[in-house]
Amino acid sequence: MLYKNIKELVEYGIRTGITPACERIYTTNLLLDLFHEDDYEDCEVKEEAPLEEILGNLLDEACRRNIIEDFITHRDLFDARLMNCLLPRPAQVQNEFWRRYQTSPADATAFYYKFSQDSDYIRRYRVKKDLKWTVDTDYGTLDITVNLSKPEKDPKAIAAARNARQSSYPKCLLCMENEGYAGRANHPARENHRIIPITVNDTEWGFQYSPYVYYNEHCIVFNGQHVPMKIEKATFRKLFDFVKQFPHYFLGSNADLPIVGGSILSHDHFQGGNYTFAMAKAPIIEHFTVDGYEDVTAGIVKWPLSVIRLQCADENRIIELADHILATWRGYTDEDAFVFAKTDGEPHNTITPIARKVGSLYELDLALRNNITTEEHPLGVYHPHASLHHIKKENIGLIEVMGLAVLPSRLKGEMELLSEYILEGKDLRSNETLAKHADWVYEFLPQYPEVSKENITEILQQEIGKVFCQVLEDAGVYKCNAEGKERFLRFIHCL
């Protein structure tokens, strides 16, 4: 059985193009060595087995031979090692990327995106488990996803990670040193990972895809040095430098302050991709002009967060104006609007920027952010409020800002259980898991005269989407009403 599974994996590599046919024997021998196997007998493989099945069989065999322990962390570490046997060296991938770039940037990224999936760095079979749907709102069509691609760790895996030797290498998940790293109980394997080095604003950066691909060609562009996130003038220049090299991609940055920032503030990085979010489609509802920048089209975007859009054929003019807006916002206080630049010396104002090219124009969206907290809202005034935490409690980062909800995996089981309880008329408050959803469900349920097995899933999906829309509204510094617009314009007039 081992010989058959090894041959299936080698044939997979040849079929997808990640392994040259002339390396069939070499690759087979590398795999045999991982199983401490000295012999091999060729066998016939008639069907193209799915990669997940091939790897699963090989991992089971590794467990039987006591090469690895049978829990998810060790299996993930070992299957990355298996896949690495099939792959070219980093320089070969880089050379192919830049060879294709000469044809077009889109050809280069298409090659690299497919390679990142074929290498199992992006685990297609896990990503497809994510629940995805859309919901129409006053702001456009929002994307909703329940993230199921990150495997749940069992108690053994959690204990192994807790007891693992602490190491500062690599310093974080975004460091260049991850390429080829074997991993450990508390750090994922990256042996099957290949990074494309690029130059951004005359400095060394890395280009890769997110292993969780929340949207098409979801990429990460990260500083070659382990330096913290910082929103400044150079940030805008870096964003546009990348967009000029890859004009079919957008690129954005998380904010650089806790609560309104992303999950990794310790390493300077951006996220982008080949996808058009609802925010990018949202129109400008109020145009304005800033003195000295009359050549830059500027306006307030119809969006639940407070977003300024800048457009110009010359990206340098956008960068200059964006820096002016950032500096003004950093120091801006409006007590009536509950906007404070600082309290007790702690800064609160920052920006989430997103750059793209639209036709012949460069475009930059600036989402104004503020991370102030109060006793009523200890997690943030401009953060999902407590009444919405049953759906979304986590920070509103770049991806959510643009209109894509990344919701916790727990919601899959809770939605299934909610469906059962609603259809059978059971009391939601009688269930410890569902009690947090009770007020929400009992408020929206009367709006649906007919609730059945056929439509309950769609109803829950649409109502979850509406909650996410409220989440974005909570994150908006200036609310989408007459008072909010007046307060927003007060800031604009300070520019």
Q: Nearest to residue 297, comparing CAs of 284, 279, 312?
A: 312
The pLDDT > 70 percentage for the chain reads 97
Residue type, 118: D
pLDDT mean across residues, the chain: 95
* 192 neighbors 84 (Cβ within 8 angstroms): yes
* 372 neighbors 381 (Cβ within 8 angstroms): yes
The terminus-to-terminus CA distance of the chain in angstroms comes to 70
Rounded Cα distance, 369 and 382, in Å: 8
pLDDT of residue 263: 72
Q: Nearest to residue 18, comparing CAs of 80, 95, 85, 103?
A: 85
Residue range 154-169, pLDDT digits in tens = 555 545 555 566 678 9
Instruction: State the DSSP H helix or E strand holding residue 109, giving kind and residue range, or none if neither.
Output: helix 105-118
* 140 neighbors 133 (Cβ within 8 angstroms): no
Rounded Cα distance, 257 and 262, in Å: 8
pLDDT of residue 279: 98
Q: Per mean pLDDT, which range of 162-166, 190-194, 268-272 is the poorest?
A: 162-166
Q: Nearest to residue 209, comparing CAs of 200, 192, 221, 197?
A: 221
pTM for the whole thing? 0.94
Rounded Cα distance, 271 and 263, in Å: 12
Which is higher by pLDDT, 142 or 71? 142
For residue 124, pLDDT over 60 is answered with: yes
